Every structure is written in structure tokens, then in C-alpha cells.
């Protein structure tokens, strides 16, 4: 088979590197927010940590499982705000692991879903450092169960795609890697991550790809947290009046027929816009 350099990360660290004695890193999925959605394995890893490097979306209650005296470092990254660079996070992980400490890299949701977990595993393998991964409940799955919207459904959704709404450098998405037209078969659900600021662009791309403007959209903000908010709209609304959803991050947008199933406590787009109370809500939508 022809060598594809893009796949090198899969084998990185499996060749010549001698293991670094005692060093261990665990990439732990902290789930969507509700600490009851942590796995037992995640809790044990957090309890065993000497150092915890945690992301922005990790709920503070999750950090309470850590032992007293553990070194906690917030390495949050947020679109559009001053934040940690991935290269600096890499340096920090290596520095602590090489000091022989048990490092927990705590990430919102699941480490391998839009979480840069693949890069961190490759880094650690190539440095000869033992790495384990503990899965977490990813936001789309949490949003679906919280609202009782099934991501797949025998009659309404036979496939589901997890999609990033953020383009390179947190700019507008370029849906060049995905055939939105092919997914427009009335049997497909899109679960869009990082799509709050780019909701308008997503709506326009879907319309351009032939999706019906009445296709249901359900936006779920802060899934699984006490402040969870659900807003119902359509693809046409996304394209024409994304501000009316008055969304703040983090939110998942479910798009497709399942998103039209009844949901308790949902706001329609008019009500959502009316209740757009606080001026601190981010209202820059593309």
C-alpha cells in the first residue's frame, strides 16, 4: 500500500523510542458537564492524578474529585479569545510527565471527538511516554439524551454525522470535505459542534446544498447542565436570522427530521429572541 504521511500519527512512538520510566499520561473525557455523567474510570483517573491539565469546558464540579494538593492547570481554548496554543499544551504535558508524575489531561466530552486527543496521543507515543485514554460522553450524545431526541431512528434518521461548524482559525466553516448534498436524503442527522457563531453560514450552506428550508433544527446549549437551553428553529431560520436563536456557546445544533420531534421546555425562535435578556450574550453570528 502507498505510504500516506497523514497517517503517521497512528504509528508514532511505536518504533525506536525507549519508554520514559514512571511517566504516565491519561487523556480523560470529562463528559458534557453533569458530573454524574463521568465514568467510574474517569473519576479514578482524576483521583490518581498528580497534575491535572484541564480544558475550558470541564465543569468545576468534576475537578472536585481531585486529591488535595494536586497541581491544577487550566489550559482552556476558546474560539475568538486569548487562549492556550496546542504547542504550549504539548510542552506542559511533556514537562510534567517527564518529571515522573501522573498527568491527567482532562477534556470536555470525549477526548477523541473534536478534542485534539489524536495529536496528544501521537505526541506522547513519540516521546516514549505511556498514554491511556478514558472515553467521555460527547456533547452530541449528551444533548440527544437530555432532550430525548434519538440521533438515529429507524424511520427518521439512518445515519448521523458529527460535524464542526468552525473553520480554520475559528473562521467560517468550509464544508469542502463533506458532501452536504449527498447527506440531504431525509434520513440523515447532523450534529454540529462549535457552530454558534457560524450558524448563519451553516444554514446558507445547507440551503445551497438543497436542504429544505423547513428542515428542523434543535439547538441545545449547555447540554446536561442546570442552565441547559433548547431552541427550535429551521434551516431557513439559521440561514436568515441566526441571531434570533440567541445562542451562546457551548451548543450543539441537531439538524434533520429527528430534531423536529417534540421536546420538553423548548423555546421557539420568536420566544428565544424575545428572551435574549442579558447584553453579555454573544450575538455575533456569521
Ligand X SMILES: C[S@@+](CC[C@H](N)C(=O)[O-])C[C@H]1O[C@@H](n2cnc3c(N)ncnc32)[C@H](O)[C@@H]1O
Among 26, 66, 70, 113, binds ligand X (CB under 6 A): 113
Binding region for ligand X (CB under 6 A) out of 37-45, 95-103, 243-251, 264-272: 243-251
Among 103, 220, 233, 238, binds ligand X (CB under 6 A): 220
Using the rule CB under 6 A, give the single segment among 3-11, 95-103, 110-118, 272-280 that binds ligand X. Answer: 110-118
Q: Which residue is nearest to ligand X (CB)?
A: 109
Q: What is the size of the binding site for ligand X (CB under 6 A)?
A: 24
Q: In what order do the strands lie in the sheet with 229-234?
A: 159-164, 188-193, 251-255, 216-221, 229-234, 267-268
| 55 tagged catalytic | yes
The C-alpha atoms of residue 172 and residue 285 are separated, in whole angstroms, by 10
Judged by CB under 6 A, the residue of 180, 252, 263, 267 near ligand X is 252
Piece of the chain touching ligand X by CB under 6 A; list 65-73, 127-135, 174-182, 244-252: 244-252
Catalytic residue from among 4, 8, 21, 77: 77
How far, in Å, CA of 41 to CA of 134, rounded? 7
The stretch near ligand X (CB under 6 A) out of 83-91, 107-115, 199-207, 229-237 is 107-115
Smaller CB separation from ligand X, 23 or 124: 124
Q: Does 249 bind ligand X (CB under 6 A)?
A: yes
Q: How far is the CB of 146 from ligand X (least distance, A)?
A: 9
Q: CB 222 → ligand X: shortest distance, Å?
A: 5
- Per the annotation, the verdict on 85 as an active-site residue is no
Q: Does residue 251 touch ligand X according to CB under 6 A?
A: yes
Query: Which positions are annotated as active-site residues?
Result: 55, 77
- Positions touching ligand X (CB under 6 A) are 32-33, 57, 107-110, 113-115, 138-139, 143, 193-194, 220, 222-225, 249-252
Amino acid at each position: 500500500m502507498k505510504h500516506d504521511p497523514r497517517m503517521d500519527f497512528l504509528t508514532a512512538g511505536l518504533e525506536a523510542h525507549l519508554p520514559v520510566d514512571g511517566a504516565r499520561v491519561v487523556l480523560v473525557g470529562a463528559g458534557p458537564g453533569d458530573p454524574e455523567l463521568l465514568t467510574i474510570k474517569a473519576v479514578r483517573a482524576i483521583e490518581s492524578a498528580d497534575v491535572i491539565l484541564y480544558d475550558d469546558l470541564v465543569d468545576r464540579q468534576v475537578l472536585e474529585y481531585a486529591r488535595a494538593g494536586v497541581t491544577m492547570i487550566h489550559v482552556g481554548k476558546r474560539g475568538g479569545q486569548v487562549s492556550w496554543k496546542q504547542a504550549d499544551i504539548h510542552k506542559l504535558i511533556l514537562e510534567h510527565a517527564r518529571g515522573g508524575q501522573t498527568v491527567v489531561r482532562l477534556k470536555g466530552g470525549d477526548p477523541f471527538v473534536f478534542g485534539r486527543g489524536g495529536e496528544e496521543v501521537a505526541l506522547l507515543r513519540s516521546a516514549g511516554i505511556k498514554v491511556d485514554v478514558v472515553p467521555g460522553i460527547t456533547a452530541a450524545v449528551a444533548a440527544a439524551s437530555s432532550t430525548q431526541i434519538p440521533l438515529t431512528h429507524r424511520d427518521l434518521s439512518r445515519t448521523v454525522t458529527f460535524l464542526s461548524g468552525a473553520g480554520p482559525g475559528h473562521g467560517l466553516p468550509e464544508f469542502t470535505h463533506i458532501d452536504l448534498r449527498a447527506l440531504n436524503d431525509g434520513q440523515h442527522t447532523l450534529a454540529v459542534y462549535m457552530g454558534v457563531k457560524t450558524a448563519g453560514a451553516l444554514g446558507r450552506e445547507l440551503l445551497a446544498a438543497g436542504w429544505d428550508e423547513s428542515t428542523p433544527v434543535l439547538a441545545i446549549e449547555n447540554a446536561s447542565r442546570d442552565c441547559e437551553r433548547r431552541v427550535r428553529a429551521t434551516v431557513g431560520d439559521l440561514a436568515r436570522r441566526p441571531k434570533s436563536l440567541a445562542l451562546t456557546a457551548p451548543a450543539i445544533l441537531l439538524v434533520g427530521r429527528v430534531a423536529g420531534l417534540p421536546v420538553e421546555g423548548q423555546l421557539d425562535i420568536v420566544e428565544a429572541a424575545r428572551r435574549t435578556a442579558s447584553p453579555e450574550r454573544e450575538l455575533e453570528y456569521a
